[in-house]
Amino acid sequence: MIVLGLESSCDETAAAVVTAEGQILSNVVLSQVEEHAPFGGVVPEIAARAHITQMDRLVAKAMKEADLDFDQLDGVAATAGPGLIGGVLVGLMTAKAISAVQDIPLIGVNHLEGHALTVRMTDKIAFPYLLLLVSGGHSQILVVEDVGKFRRLGTTIDDAVGEAFDKTAKLMGLGFPGGPAVERFAAKGDADRFDLPRPMKGKPGCDFSFSGLKTAVRQVLENLGETVTEQDKCDLAASFQKAAIDALMSRMKNAYKIAKADHPEIRNVVIAGGVAANASLRSQLEAAAKEKGYSLVVPPPALCTDNGAMIAWAGIERLRLNLTDTLDLAAKARWPLDPNAEPAPFAGYKA
């Protein structure tokens, strides 16, 4: 079984070809960082235009690198949501065209499920497992019970953690994307210099909140005035990163208890999404998981950020179960993994 996967939900245009054995035959990703950097964040209209301009070329490149013709594909998968709707439409419509012309199954993939299932391609782990999904748009803790079956334990009630990293970087003028920039500056800073809040820490449940932490960073900068030095930025970045990770770890502490009570068979903890590339977060999660008797599983860094291989793999997982879609499949700006979870106040599509 061979599937072509297309991803265009935010600011990466991506196409990949993956086999049922988890072999990545090609994985082409085009970043739009240069286009969005002057604005300090992703501009939806610019992202959609870039996807339109580049998607056909990247599909052709992915197929050439895989050394395959379209008639050798068993299916085509594309992100159908959640995400910036203009971008989602580009990838989904391209997949529909390939599906129609080649008469092969179309698989609409939830972008978040792509992240969630990547470890089954890279590490062959079994269901169920505990997942910390952290990216620019989402911060969630879920039990991954099966393909298409998730139980959400917690979500953000305002900002996602990746969003907080990006906005903190923008406040300090560190550049875009913010996550890697904050991590670089934090490596040279004193994480104990600024006393920043740990939102939700000590409260029951697993929900997150990061807007207050972002506001605290802005207040520190205002108090420093116009004489903010390079070392001030390093210390503030380190203090912010420490506070954000402490907040995540406090929520995970509760999640371990809840997951173990409902699923004592769980042996693996997974972190996925762009923020999974943060070395400090991975280190602390690994230590905590080991202490609780779990193994931490993290996809390779290139598969933590948005990519087509994760969409192709999720397509394979769904195709195995005959979970395919018709050509009238609609793109979705919001598509929760757990539709039965209680709505989170102020979270919107991030839930």
From 139, 171, 111, select the one nearest 245 (Cα to Cα). Answer: 139
Residue-wise pLDDT tens digits, 283-325: 999 999 999 889 999 999 899 989 999 999 999 999 999 999 9
Indicate the average pLDDT of the chain. 93
15 beta partners: 6, 28
Cα gap 314→292, rounded to integer Å:
29
Residue-wise pLDDT tens digits, 217-262: 999 999 999 889 999 999 999 999 999 999 999 999 999 999 989 8
Contacts of 158 by beta carbon, 8 Å cutoff, 6+ apart = 209, 210, 211, 346, 347
pLDDT at 4: 98
**Token representation of residue 158:** 């305002």
Alpha-carbon distances of 192 from 236, 239, 242, 248, 288, rounded to whole Å: 9, 6, 9, 18, 21
Count of CA atoms in the C-beta half-sphere (13 A) of 117:
25
Residue-wise pLDDT tens digits, 172-199: 999 888 899 999 999 999 999 999 999 8
Cα gap 310→118, rounded to integer Å:
6
Residue-wise pLDDT tens digits, 96-154: 999 999 999 999 999 999 999 999 999 999 999 999 999 878 899 999 999 999 999 99
Residue-wise pLDDT tens digits, 58-80: 999 999 999 999 999 999 999 99
Secondary structure (3-state) at 216: helix
List the strands of the sheet with 268-272, edge to edge. 149-155, 139-146, 129-134, 268-272, 295-297
Give the other-Cβ count within 10 Å of 270's Cβ. Answer: 28
**Phi, psi dihedrals of residue 252, rounded to the nearest 5°:** -65, -35
Give me the residue label for tokens 């004592």: 264
Q: Sorting pLDDT into bands at 50, 70 and 90, what band is 40?
A: confident
**For residue 349, is pLDDT > 80?**
no
**Token representation of residue 24:** 């990545």
From 232, 147, 142, 156, select the one nearest 194 (Cα to Cα). Answer: 232
pLDDT at 45: 81
pLDDT at 20: 98
Q: Sorting pLDDT into bands at 50, 70 and 90, what band is 37?
A: confident
Delineate the domains of the chain, giving CATH numbers in brackets.
Answer: 2-117+302-345 (3.30.420.40), 126-298 (3.30.420.40)
Secondary structure (3-state) at 239: helix
The DSSP secondary-structure symbol of 325 reads B
The alpha carbon of 25 is separated from its chain's Cα centroid by a whole number of angstroms, namely: 22
Give the other-Cβ count within 10 Å of 293's Cβ. Answer: 10
Q: Sorting pLDDT into bands at 50, 70 and 90, what band is 274?
A: confident
Secondary structure (3-state) at 307: coil
Percent share of the chain, pLDDT over 90: 79
152 beta partners: 142
pLDDT at 201: 85
- Which of residues 19 and 346 earns the better pLDDT score? 19
Percent share of the chain, pLDDT over 70: 98
Q: Sorting pLDDT into bands at 50, 70 and 90, what band is 346?
A: low
Cα gap 252→260, rounded to integer Å:
12
pTM over 0.95? The answer is: no
CB 134 within 8 A of CB 277: no
Cα gap 158→156, rounded to integer Å:
5
Cα gap 263→276, rounded to integer Å:
24
